[in-house]
Structure 1
Amino acid sequence: MQKIMHISVLLSPVLWGLIFGVSSNSIQIGGLFPRGADQEYSAFRVGMVQFSTSEFRLTPHIDNLEVANSFAVTNAFCSQFSRGVYAIFGFYDKKSVNTITSFCGTLHVSFITPSFPTDGTHPFV
């Protein structure tokens, strides 16, 4: 439960910033979760419901994948981007971090993660 609250607190400012920065009433938010990450997925869903309003509906697009597989991460990221997500919440592995930072930097999509920070100058992770 404490982990869910921690992730909800992490999502709060990001989701409110996205709500006020978008003109449409539906805001697409992506989620890339490793298989078996039930607590993190639940915290994400709680945050989406908690911060969705009648004026701005948060629409989640979730993919469950093996985060150590760069091909699966690439496929999921491209799928999320094609749906028009403004930001992606998820996790990465040392095998997929370069793929994610490259996509985020090139496509200017924010990647919100509770994973350990990377060494680098990518402003979108």
Structure 2
Amino acid sequence: MHKTPIVCARALLFQTYALPLPQFLLSVRHHSSTNLFVAGLSYNTNETVLRDTFGHHGQIIEVRVICDHKTGESQGYGFVRFNSETAAATARKELHGQIVDGRRIRVSYAHKG
């Protein structure tokens, strides 16, 4: 956002207006709407299981189960990135709350942070 000063009789005000988003920010916003965060995974759930489960809803670009860097054991969450927003939205809607490997998973859009 850009602020332009406006001089008033008793105060200095700022008029705020939005600048167009740079292309790289548009691609980040697009990327996150195709990237799903999957929580509540069984510690036995691996990337193959996630790919098989989510693959019914569209073409998958990447699957990652996050593991402890020392032990190599699953941390119980992961990410699934689709090639389209539509596929990600369908998978999120259809799979949130479903049972995978004996655990009820939570599926939401991943947020950069």
Fold shared by both chains (TM-score > 0.5):
no
Task: From the two aligned structures, give the one with the greater strand fraction.
Answer: 2
Q: For the superposition of Structure 1 and Structure 2, which TM-score range results when normalised by the shorter chain?
A: under 0.3
Task: From the two aligned structures, give the one with the greater helix fraction.
Answer: 1
Highest relative contact order (Cα 8 Å, sep 6+), 1 or 2?
Answer: 2
TM-score normalised to structure 1 length: 0.26
TM-score normalised to structure 2 length: 0.28
